[in-house]
Amino acid sequence: MMSLHLELIYLENSGFVVETDKHILVFDYYQDAAGTVAQLIAEGKKLHVFSSHRHHDHFNPIISTWQDNVAKFFLSDDIDNLPGVNEEKIVFMCPYETSVQDDLKVQTYGSTDIGVSFAVEVDGWRLFHAGDLNWWHWKWDDKYNLMLAKDLFRKEMDKLDGLKFDIAFFPVDSRLEEYRAIGVKEFCCRVDVGQLVAMHTRGERWAPPIGFFGKGQSVATWCPVFSGDKLKVTKE
């Protein structure tokens, strides 16, 4: 059996490029200090672009200027139409929908904020991008909101329970302080993850402590900090 290869390139916040043998996917473009996407466009590469919701640190309307190099835009339906973009190139998606475009299969799941999370099957890979799906436990918040956050997250996890992903991008937000990793811990306990990518870290590197995933369990983890950071992933 031939090995499969892909490359991950960090943009900013929750923004990433995923380059497989035949496709280039751009998730939650916000900023790109290293000029990764500009370089891909200059090379004439065709992109598929995903935006999980309208928050400014996940969605930048500048993506509309790429349309000549974009096969499809997959946008959460809370995002307004991209001005000047051919409507045939845009796929608006609500939570819990499926869209098959050419040889990409895109499924959406929910969020604990706004918008969607994405599960994508492409070139033999299964990818998950959480968007703002997380256990948002702000310790200064009142008890009712903390209980609500926990309940919302676990209801979404019930829909993901038992799934398997080769690559999973998930928030590990440093602003949550000692609670920053409670969401990713439960996610990895309930979902089979080959390569975890920590995102939305607010510039603070994170690494799971020993025993984080349970006794005798481990998950390969990458936490990029600088725009342009890269990781090559191989699977048999």
Q: What's the pLDDT at 37?
A: 98
Domain count within the chain? 1
- Residue 31 has which token pair? 């900023």
The rounded distance, in Å, linking the Cα atoms of 162 and 38 is 37
Question: What does each of the 236 residues of the chain score in pLDDT, given as a tens digit?
Answer: 689 999 999 999 999 999 999 999 999 999 999 999 999 999 999 999 999 999 999 999 999 999 999 999 999 999 987 989 999 999 999 999 999 998 999 999 999 999 999 999 999 999 999 999 999 999 999 999 999 999 999 999 999 999 999 999 999 999 999 999 999 999 999 999 999 999 999 988 999 999 999 877 899 999 999 999 999 999 98
Torsion of CA 216, 220, 222, 228, to 10 degrees: 170
CATH number of domain containing 18: 3.60.15.10
Q: What's the pLDDT at 1?
A: 66
The rounded distance, in Å, linking the Cα atoms of 83 and 43 is 25
Q: What's the pLDDT at 64?
A: 97
**Cα-based distances in Å from 180 to 35, 64, 91, 213:** 29, 33, 32, 15
Domain residue limits at 97: 4-235
Task: Name beta bridge partners: 235.
Answer: 4
pTM: 0.97
